[in-house]
Amino acid sequence: MKISVIGTGYLGATHAACMAELGFDVVGVDVDPAKVDQLNSGVVPFFEPDLEPLLRKHVETDRLRFTTSLVEAAAFADVHFVCVGTPQQKGRLAADTSYVEAVVEGLAPHLRPGALVVGKSTVPVGTAAALRETLLRLSPAPDVELAWNPEFLREGFAVADTLRPDRLVIGTSSTYVEEQLRTVYAHALADGCPLIVTSLETAELVKSAANSFLATKISFINAMAEICEATGADVVQLADAIGHDVRIGRRFLGAGLGFGGGCLPKDIRAFQARANELGLTKSVAFLGDVDDINVRRRARTVSLAHEVLGGRISDRKVAVLGAAFKPNSDDVRDSPALDVADQLHLRGAEVVVYDPAATGTARRRSPQLTYASRLEEAYDCADLVMVLTEWSEFLALDPAAVAGKVRARNVIDGRNALDPVTWRAAGWHYRGLGRP
Ligand code: UGA
């Protein structure tokens, strides 16, 4: 079985390399020739742990190659995974599905008989059925099919999540398609990974529901953080206490700056837009609150900085540690850390940002900020140190050593990831979010 993977972002590049690792011959497709050249020379154009060695290994053995040609991919492969982006439309809540549509329209006329197109991109419910109609209308080849196979990988763990998924969902009504995908995922299935075969609509909704649930869980604990701040309670202890209830669980109850990235924020917005189109204006209206709570955490962090600096932000040096939306990633899409840095800069602070991997992507998004190439350079003579992405490098900081370098011992822990006891013992004025 030969495989093509269309779109080579975090999802597609990882999927392509992992399919090669599982023994398939793979061609990856992207519209950007520079990216294709990089990938063909074994270089991953973004930061994702463990991906580059895997990619290089399979590019070197010729099991994996990249091209800009959809026609070439159509001639080569039996199964085509669609992994292109579905970003938020400008000025609207809805997702832009035009890239997914363009891929299906581009592939369809050139497909081989019996070819299977498998969508992995996150799309509004109803998209896959429309794409299937397009495919059957435009493809002259007999027996082509379209299925939906949502992806649940996390950035930073993309390779492990792809090779060892915690569940597989396949939207199809065809037993032939199910058999084909059972072959693709034989390795995970042999390891006991659960497989749920659904309709196209259920498969699409599983993904929207999963990301909405995760976002809601984070905003729930951040709403509790707001209450804790007003009452002197401690949200971390609260999360520990409720998290022991196995029905609730402690994961994704990390209170702090909230969620960002290319998935959770846009997916909850797209879900609301789709529900509204369906006339279900109330069903997921609560996701509007989830979004609001999330965005309020950023404003709260800026006002906390204001407070800690005694009401005067301008010309004070603020060390912002972290620009990526989460650790082990260079992704700054909708990054809470970078938003806070931008806001402080706008208020006149001298902001110096340090991130172990995301300086390049952050500089492209926020060129007005100053970027340090070393961690020490960022906090040197700072009036305030803010940990806004919980990279392990920041968690390992020795508060006594840092204390000797700063102008004032003020630290804001935007991720409740530092140990307040050791920082306070070293003379720091420590503030977390939702903590007394
Ligand atoms: C998310 C989902 O977790 C994946 O299952 C899904 O496949 C992916 O979106 C996607 O749709 O492609 P990801 O965006 O990589 O994955 O990041 P998460 O690990 O979910 O974190 C999202 C954000 O939530 C980060 O900004 C993180 O800092 C924040 N977060 C996470 C919290 O604020 N608190 C927590 O307790 C956990």
pLDDT in tens, 394-417: 999 999 999 999 999 999 999 999
Site to probe by mutation for ligand 1, drawn from 15, 326, 355 as the one with most ligand atoms within 8 Å of Cβ, is 326
Residue 154's Cβ-count burial label (10 Å; 0-12, 13-18, 19+) is middle
Q: Whose CA is nearest to atom 11 of ligand 1?
A: 263
**CA of residue 208 to ligand 1 center, whole Å:** 13
> Which of 51, 264, 340, 413 to probe ligand 1 with, by most ligand atoms within 8 A of CB?
264
Full-model pTM: 0.97
Rounded Cα distance, 220 and 197, in Å:
31
Find, among 51, 433, 52, 67, the residue nearest to 236 by Cα.
Answer: 433
The string of pLDDT tens digits covering residues 110-137 is 999 999 999 999 999 999 999 999 999 9
**Rounded distance between C-alpha atoms, residue 168 and residue 358, angstroms:** 31
Give distance in angstroms: CA of 281 to centre of ligand 1: 26
Q: Whose CA is nearest to atom 10 of ligand 1?
A: 263
**pLDDT tier, 59 (very low <50, low <70, confident <90, very high otherwise):** very high
CA 150 to ligand 1: nearest atom = 7
CA distance 220 to 290: 8
Task: Tell me, in angstroms, the distance from the centre of ligand 1 to residue 277's CA.
Answer: 26
pLDDT classification of 418: cutoffs 50, 70, 90: very high
Beta carbons within 8 Å of 211's beta carbon, 6+ residues apart: 122, 263, 264, 267, 268
Q: Which amino acid is present at 218?
A: I
Average pLDDT over residues 339-355: 98
Measured from the Cα of 262, ligand 1's closest atom is 14
- Asked whether 145 and 176 are in contact (CB, 8 A), the reply is yes
Q: Are 316 and 349 in contact (CB under 8 A)?
A: yes
Sequence letter at residue 177: V
What confidence tier does 393 reach under pLDDT thresholds 50, 70, 90? Answer: very high
Residue 155 Cα: closest atom of ligand 1: 15
Q: In 10 A of CB 421, how many CB atoms?
A: 9
Task: Tell me the per-residue pLDDT of 190-199, one tens digit each, with 9 for 90 and over.
Answer: 999 999 999 9
Q: How would you list the strands of the sheet with 2-6, edge to edge?
A: 64-67, 25-29, 2-6, 79-82, 116-119, 145-148, 168-171, 195-198
Q: What does the alpha-carbon distance between residue 202 and residue 129 come to, in Å, rounded to a whole number?
A: 11
* Pairing assessment for the beta strands 168-171 and 410-413 based on DSSP bridges: unpaired
CB within 8 A of 217, min separation 6: which ones? 252, 253
Residue 177 CA to residue 115 CA, distance in Å, equals 10
- Residue 378, SS3? helix
Please give the pLDDT value at position 271.
98
Q: What is the pLDDT of residue 403?
A: 98
Domains of the chain in sequence order: 2-198 (3.40.50.720), 199-436 (3.40.50.720)
Residue 263 known to be catalytic:
yes
Averaged pLDDT, 277-282: 98
Residue ranges lining ligand 1, Cβ < 6 Å: 122, 151-155, 211, 214, 218, 252-254, 256, 258-261, 263-264, 325-326
Residue 212's pLDDT is: 98
